[in-house]
Amino acid sequence: MGLSVTGDLSRAAELIGRWDYPAARTVLVEAVARAESIGRRDELDGLTARRMLAEVLRELGEIGPAHRLAVGVLRACRDRYGGRHPATVRALAVLAMVLHDRGELDRARRLYEQVIASAKDIDRPAARAVLLARANLALLMYAQGDGGTALHELTEAYALHRRAFGDADLETIRLAAELGRLHGALGDLANARRLLAIAHVGAQAELGEQHPLTAAVELALAEVEPPMPSSPADLADPADLADLADPADLAASEPGRHVQHFPSEPRGHVRHGAHRRLMIFLAAVLGVLLAIAVAAVALAHRPASTPPRAAQPPAFPVRPAASASPASAVAPPSAVAPAASDPARSAPTGVTLRDEGTSVTVTWSDPSGGTGGVVLSVARAGQPTGPVRTLPPGTHEQRITGLDPTADYCFVLAVVYAQDTVAPAAQVCTRRHAPASIAAD
C-alpha cells in the first residue's frame, strides 16, 4: 500500500511541474487520506504527501491551511527522524516559505538560516532545498532593505544551483530571472537584461512560449527595456557593435546608477498563488519582448541625460524546496561572471532587408555555422521594443508581416551560442524613402 502512496506522489510531482496546482491538490489530498487509512500518516511517504500538499496550498494562496500542515509535518519529521534528516530539512524549508508569505520575516529568516546551516550535515537528497532556501533568504534580505547582501547571496545561490542541476533545470531558469530582476531593481540594467535574456531563452526552450514563466520573464524584460531609436539615423553604424560582445561591459557607463532599497512591506517575496494567477493571465498577452541583443544596442545609444527606469522588486516565485530531486552540493563562487567574449562568436553578418511595404523579409549569414539559435526582434522606430522570435539553429531568413507601410521599423539579430552566451547584435532599419533592399553593413 505504501507503493500506492508513492505513485500518487509521482503523479502530483508531474502536475506541479506543469503548474497544474488544483489537480495536484486533488491527488495529494487523496494520497494523504490513503496514507492515514493504512496507518502511514507519519511514515516517510505519508509525511511527504502532507508536505507536498502544504506546498501546493501555498502556491494556491491558501496560506492558513498550508501553515497548519507545514507545522505538523515539521514536528513529525523531527520526532521521527531527527533534525538532520533530509525530510526534516525539506519540511523546515517549506515552513520557512509559508512564514515568509505570512509576513513573519524574522521567523522565516531564522528557519532559512537553519536550513542553510544544515548543509554540512545533510546528505545529497536535500541539496536543492538548501540552495532554494538560500535564494529565498536573499529575497527576504532584499525585502528588509539589504539589497547589497541580497544580490551577493542570490548570485551565489544561482551559481551553485546552475552547477548542481544544469542550465536547463526549471529552478535554474527561474533563479536567473529572479537574479536579473534584482539587478534591475538595484539599477544594473545591463546585467538585468543579460540574466533575463538567459532566463527567456531557457524558459522558451524548456517550457514553450505560452508557459506562465516565459510570459513573466517577458514582462520583466519590458520593465528594463528602453524604446528603440526614434529614427533609423539614431542608430550607430553596425560596425561599431563589435565592441558590444559582452553586454555586462555596458554597466560601467550606465548613467544615473542608483540603489533602490526594499520598502517596509515585503514586496520582493510575492505570494505565489496570486503571482501564479497573474502569470497565467500574462501568458495570454500577445508577443514576446526584446531579449539581450536589442537591450545592448538600445542602451548603448540612449542619451546620457535619460535616467534609468523605476525599478521593480523581484517577482519570480522560487519553486518549493521540498519536491526536488537530489544533487550534490558544490563550493560557492564569489560571483557569477558574464561569459568571456569569444572572437569567433560574432554577430550575424550580411543582414539585408527586402522591404515590401506591409512585410519585410530579413536575411542574414549565421556565424555559428548552424549551431546557435537566432533571436530576431522588430520594433517600430521610436516605439517600445516589439516581439522577439527565437528561431531554430541554421535559420537564415525570416519574413515579418502586418507592418505599416508608412512607418520605419528596426530589426535586431543575435545568435545565442549557449545559455549564458549571447553574441553581439546586428541591426538594420528600413528607410521608406530608400531603395527596397537595405543592408546592415
Q: Is residue 263 part of a domain?
A: no
Amino acid identity at 141: M
Please check whether residue 81 is in contact with residue 87, taking contact to mean a CB–CB distance below 8 angstroms. yes
Q: Of 343, 386, 348, which Cα lies nearest the Cα of 368?
A: 348
pLDDT of residue 70: 96
For the chain, the first-to-last Cα distance in angstroms comes to: 69
How far, CA to CA in Å, does 427 sit from each of 41, 227, 283, 400, 438? 61, 15, 28, 15, 11
Q: What is the dihedral of CA 211, 317, 114, 138, to 10 degrees?
A: 120
Q: What is the CA radius of gyration of the chain?
A: 24
pLDDT under 50: residue ranges of the chain: 1-2, 230-314, 317, 319-343, 419-420, 435-438, 441
Burial of 237 (0-12, 13-18, 19+ CB in 10 A): exposed
**CATH code of the domain containing 400:** 2.60.40.10
Q: Is 84 exposed, middle or buried (0-12, 13-18, 19+ CB in 10 A)?
A: middle
Q: Domain for residue 317, yes or no?
A: no
425 closest CA partner among 193, 206, 187: 193
d(CA 430, CA 94): 53
pTM over 0.75: no
Is position 426 within any domain?
yes
Give the pLDDT confidence of 252-272 residue by residue, as tens digits.
Answer: 333 332 222 223 233 334 334
pLDDT digits (tens, 9 = 90+) for 191-223: 998 899 888 888 888 888 777 788 888 888 878
Cβ proximity of 301 and 236 under 8 Å = yes
How far apart CA 388 and CA 412 sit, in angstroms, is: 9
- Within-domain flag for 148: no
User: How many domains is the chain partitioned into structurally?
Assistant: 1
Greatest CA separation for the chain: 80
Is position 430 within any domain? yes
**Residues of the domain holding 421:** 349-439
363: in domain = yes
Is position 282 within any domain? no
Q: Which residue has the cell 520583466?
A: 220
In a domain, 316, yes or no: no
What pLDDT is stored for residue 368 in this prediction? 77
